[in-house]
Structure 1
Amino acid sequence: MPELPEVETVRRTLQPHLAGRTIAGVHVGEYQRCVATPDVEEFRERLIDSRITRVGRRGKFILLHLSTSDVVTIHLRMTGEVSIVDPVVPADAHVHLWLDLENGKQVRYRDVRKFGRWSLLTENQYAIFDDSIGPEPLEPELTAEKFTAMLQGRKRILKPLLLDQQFLAGVGNIYADEALYRAGIHPRRHSCDLSANECERLLHEIRLVLSSALEHRGTTLRDYRDGNGEPGENLSRLQIYSRSVDDPCHRCGTPIVRELIGQRGTKICPTCQPI
């Protein structure tokens, strides 16, 4: 599933094409469940003739802010792709939703596994949605002191807690593994048992791995593409997530192990990340 760096990369590639553009047409294919709310007819009626003022992001969601004060939220999930294309480009069977822009271009939503969802929220609905998501890890408002209090105030296994979008926005399996490895912290530890120094080190590493992935336009394992249809370039820079079981740790040479933690596969160096 695309995480913060991938979704932010998509946002950055869409912004120049969409900001200031008016939606002239809305089309939803046979698979209408890609629109979560409201119903498809209302979705279409409220979007047509709206102007996209800017493209934003909240956690793993792409946001289309509209001149009507409504906000479109797009959750790509496993295989969702949003791209800008010329209408003459043929659309395959996996394109489920597309928007016609007044400049003749199309915004196409393609999703092979059909897990992604679009929602059209009122200003009040968006405020509730925004409040339901945790702080953004790259924002300066999330200080080391605040992050320490967040971790130590909960008695939860660390890896599932980092993946909880109500706790922290945008971090998923890839970057949780990377940050925990680089911080030297075992993902099965309880958050309340971390010292202040460990909490600060973990936040530092979360920010480093996210920033590095952003710089290299995200990680493409298989499906992820940005708004221009280009893959990310960060895969070769991962230190543990992309490693195979029994590969030697980059730091100490200990064979890498894989454990199931919170129903998610997790790569660990038993030496560098003692329990």
Structure 2
Amino acid sequence: MPELPEVETTLRGIEPHIQRQRITEVIIRQPQLRWPIPSNLDQLLAGKKVLSCQRRAKYLLLNIGNGFVIIHLGMSGSLRIIPSETPAEKHDHVDIVFDNNKTLRYHDPRRFGAVLWVEPPFEQHKLFSQLGPEPLTDDFDGKRLFTLSRQKKTPAKTFIMDNKTVVGVGNIYANEALFMAGIHPRRAAGKISLQRYIKLAGAIKQVLRKAIAEGGTTLKDFVGGDGKPGYFQQQLNVYGRSSLPCVKCDRPLKEIKISARSTVFCSNCQR
């Protein structure tokens, strides 16, 4: 499932090709994704320019002026920039066609993503109104984690993956950040000190920045490629390394399930 760094790199990949460009048409081949695509999307967008592109949590937003196109990649979705004459293939569900002979194509085999429309302010839409702060901003820090966690028995991993706590800390990066901070993923959120939360917030920022930086080398793939950034090629300390030696102490890493999600950790280095 694309996580925040993948979505951020997708944004950086498509933005130079569509910002300030005029939309000529919208082609909808499959109107039913996670939610129905608005049937009048072509009427809403044709002739309008994309004024800006932005990301909120794992959602991409194209600012058309009088509203926003919301795009979510779901479990298997991807976006790519292609020449407008490129024939559609299986699972190519939506094309946003521009007058520069480029098309933003949405591909989603499992159809669990979304292409929606919202009038401003988008922040009041039900998908955004309850979201916590972005992890790479000053609004997110260890003090926030400490304050929100008091009296909570929720596992630390579940707590930091809650979008009301902070957005965009998906399974891969929660595993990595907890390892970097030396915190056991099952430790009760309310039992973690302020100093440890300050360290954890720093680890979350560090691992996400690293992932975004590594993904930046794949930007060329968004032009005529498959639209999928190569994050999973990066070197991860714990995720996907169950039973392998810990990079710090050489003891075998353990794997458990927390909220039905794979959780890999070092029982020696994480307390």
Counterpart of 1:5, as a letter, is P
Query: Percent identity, aligned pairs only?
Result: 34
Instruction: Measure, in 1, the Cα distance between the counterparts of 2:178 and 2:149.
Output: 14
Check the 8 A contact 2:81/2:102 in 1, yes or no: yes
Q: Deviations over 1:107-157 (max 9, x none)?
A: 100011111111111114543343321111100122332232123364422
Counterpart of 1:208, as a letter, is Q
Does the C-alpha gap of structure 1 residues 227 and 73 become closer, same or farther in structure 2, counting only changes over 3 Å? farther
The equivalences for 1:141-220 within 5 A come to 141-152=139-150, 154-217=152-215
Does the C-alpha gap of structure 1 residues 213 and 187 become closer, same or farther in structure 2, counting only changes over 3 Å? same
What is the RMSD of the two structures over their aligned residues, measured on CA atoms?
A: 2.1
Check the 8 A contact 2:211/2:234 in 1, yes or no: no
Q: Report what 1:106 is aligned to.
A: 103
TM-score (norm: length of structure 1) = 0.90
Q: Report what 1:33 is aligned to.
A: 32
Instruction: Measure, in 1, the Cα distance between the counterparts of 2:262 and 2:186.
Output: 12
Aligned-partner SS, 2:197: helix
Question: Runs of at least 4 residues of structure 1 off by over 6 A?
Answer: none
Q: Deviations over 1:9-48 (max 9, x none)?
A: 111111111111111101111x2113736x5322222122
Q: Deviations over 1:193-246 (max 9, x none)?
A: 1001110010010011001101101799xxxx9634353256332111131x22
Counterpart of 1:72, as a letter, is V
Instruction: Measure, in 2, the Cα distance between the counterparts of 1:90 and 1:43.
Output: 21
Q: Report what 1:255 is aligned to.
A: 252
Q: Deviations over 1:160-210 (max 9, x none)?
A: 222222221111000000000111111111111100111001001001100
TM-score (norm: length of structure 2) = 0.91
Q: Report what 1:136 is aligned to.
A: 134
Instruction: Measure, in 2, the Cα distance between the counterparts of 1:165 and 1:218.
Output: 25
Is 2:71 aligned against 1:88? no
Instruction: Measure, in 2, the Cα distance between the counterparts of 1:232 and 1:193.
Output: 36
Aligned-partner SS, 1:84: strand
The equivalences for 1:33-72 within 5 A come to 33-34=32-33, 36=35, 40-68=38-66, 70-72=67-69
Counterpart of 1:26, as a letter, is V
Deviation of 1:65 after TM superposition, in Å, equals 1.0
Q: Report what 1:18 is aligned to.
A: 18
Is 2:9 aligned against 1:9? yes
Instruction: Measure, in 2, the Cα distance between the counterparts of 1:131 and 1:237.
Output: 35
Deviation of 1:254 after TM superposition, in Å, equals 1.2
Instruction: Measure, in 1, the Cα distance between the counterparts of 2:57 and 2:234.
Output: 24
Q: Report what 1:268 is aligned to.
A: 265
Aligned-partner SS, 1:248: coil
Check the 8 A contact 2:22/2:99 in 1, yes or no: yes
Q: Report what 2:233 is aligned to.
A: 235
Instruction: Measure, in 2, the Cα distance between the counterparts of 1:147 and 1:35.
Output: 31
Instruction: Measure, in 1, the Cα distance between the counterparts of 2:176 and 2:253.
Output: 13
- Paired residues, number: 266
Moved more, 143-152 or 116-125: 143-152
Aligned-partner SS, 1:123: coil
Instruction: Measure, in 2, the Cα distance between the counterparts of 1:159 and 1:233.
Output: 21
Deviation of 1:5 after TM superposition, in Å, equals 0.9
Check the 8 A contact 1:178/1:239 in 2, yes or no: yes
Counterpart of 1:32, as a letter, is P
Instruction: Measure, in 1, the Cα distance between the counterparts of 2:101 and 2:233.
Output: 35
Counterpart of 1:227, as a letter, is F
Check the 8 A contact 1:22/1:102 in 2, yes or no: yes
